[in-house]
Amino acid sequence: MSVTQPWLPYRQMQTAPIPMMAVRTEGVRIYLRDGRTLIDGIGSWWSACHGYNHPHIRQAVQEQLEFMPHIMLGGLVHEPVVRLTDRLARLLPGELNHVFYSESGSVAIEIAMKMAVQYWKNKGISGRTRFMSFRDGYHGDTFAAMSVCDPVDGMHRLFKDVLADQIIVDLPRDEKSLSALENIISTHASELAGVIVEPLVQAAAGMKFHEPEVLAAISDITRRHDLLLILDEIATGFGRTGKLFACEHAAVEPDIITLSKALTGGTMPLAATVATGHVYEAFLSDEYEKALMHGPTFCGNPLACAAANASLDLFETEPRLMQATMIESQLEEGLAVCRGYPGVTDVRVKGAIGVVQFLHRPDINYLREQFISQGVWIRPFGDVVYLTPALNIDSDDLQQLINAVNHVVKGAAS
């Protein structure tokens, strides 16, 4: 009897290989039904920052499940969400202390954009409904989020004619391009609700990096023109770049920040859109219509909040940021050999992110199968092979991942 398969993400179901069946995870390993074991090099899309099945997170979720798996936040709160909110406010830079919860990164972006537009409306300022974002950016797959993704090289080109018309420019890299950016912002400031950027790493665009000085300069420009700065830390938050939040490298304090992925250690769906006091205060009024009209059913789910609190415990009690720095050193040394392979145009490392970029897009399905044959789970996309392992991966397992990248990339380049 045939079994109907799920419709899988980012996959041409007609031509893609039949997916493998995972039956168990533990630490950095994925166990397959056919008996094979794979070392996970990408942390389930960068979310499993403590590896899989960490006993502390598992225990917290089990205990929460015993007495309250879910309760609506409409008119009620619960201890895990109150505790998590306070902890995030204390950890985030500046005055980011008003947390709105949802279940996914894309929705967190939608909420951030909605907040920004309504902020201006609530202040009695009309016309500020557009956003500036940057080429090579990716912010999610829902409609508002798609509108601020790269419209040419991104994955949402098909929807170009139905998305909101945003202002999307090159990410500045020097004084000349920063001056050009400021001129564009000056021209459009009266129609812009805000500027949205992934700090330091444009992740799903191919792990493209920029320097902290660039982020700081963008922040300065938004301040000069009275725009809201939205930082998308869905991929970079919680230690991935070597600091708890990537914006800390540049000492930048945004007006709104979005978090997800590693927020729960990759255990449960949860996202947060966090605003500063001056944004939040624009929603306080005797007029009901000025409230933020948004309310996901599983907003602030207790199970997810319990997992997130347990994940934050681990950042306090285990040396995650130091481990990210150690991963960075090992990736820099181990992947350097790829620079000598024909067809490789760049090798770059930032925190616990290692990237090998090809000059031309390789056969992705071939590379993926080769990695599986090496006993590792690495999913190249576009023109890059990348590693974003669990922050607590041991050096031997990380070396196996590095060796697999060197072996497969060398074979593809020859």
* Inter-residue contact 183 to 191 (CB < 8 Å): no
The whole-angstrom separation of Cα 83 and Cα 305 is 9
**What is the helix, strand, coil percentage profile of the chain, to 5?**
40, 20, 40
* Residue 363 a catalytic site member: no
C-alpha dihedral (259, 73, 114, 252), degrees to nearest 10: -30
Written as six digits, the tokens of 7 are: 């419709």
Q: Establish whether 341 is a catalytic residue.
A: no
CB 331 within 8 A of CB 405: no
Selected catalytic residue, list 136, 232, 255, 397: 232
Task: Specify the 3-state DSSP secondary structure of 256.
Answer: strand
Alpha-carbon distance 374 to 70, whole Å? 41
Residue (of 218, 222, 226, 185) closest to 200 by Cα position:
218
Q: Is 10 a catalytic residue?
A: yes
Q: Is 165 annotated as catalytic?
A: no
Which is it for strands 22-26 and 384-387: parallel, antiparallel or unpaired?
unpaired
The beta strand positions in 223-300, using DSSP E, are 228-232, 256-259, 271-276
Determine which one of 52, 101, 119, 138 is catalytic: 138
Task: Name the residue type at position 330.
Answer: Q
* DSSP state letters, 172-216: P-SHHHHHHHHHHHHHHGGGEEEEEE-SSEE-TTT-EE--HHHHH
- How far is CA 340 from each of CA 237, 309, 336, 378, 410, rounded to the nearest angstrom? 32, 44, 8, 21, 9
Token look-up 């409306």 returns: 121
Q: Which of 150, 261, 350, 386 is catalytic?
A: 261
Which residues participate in catalysis according to the annotation?
10, 138, 232, 261
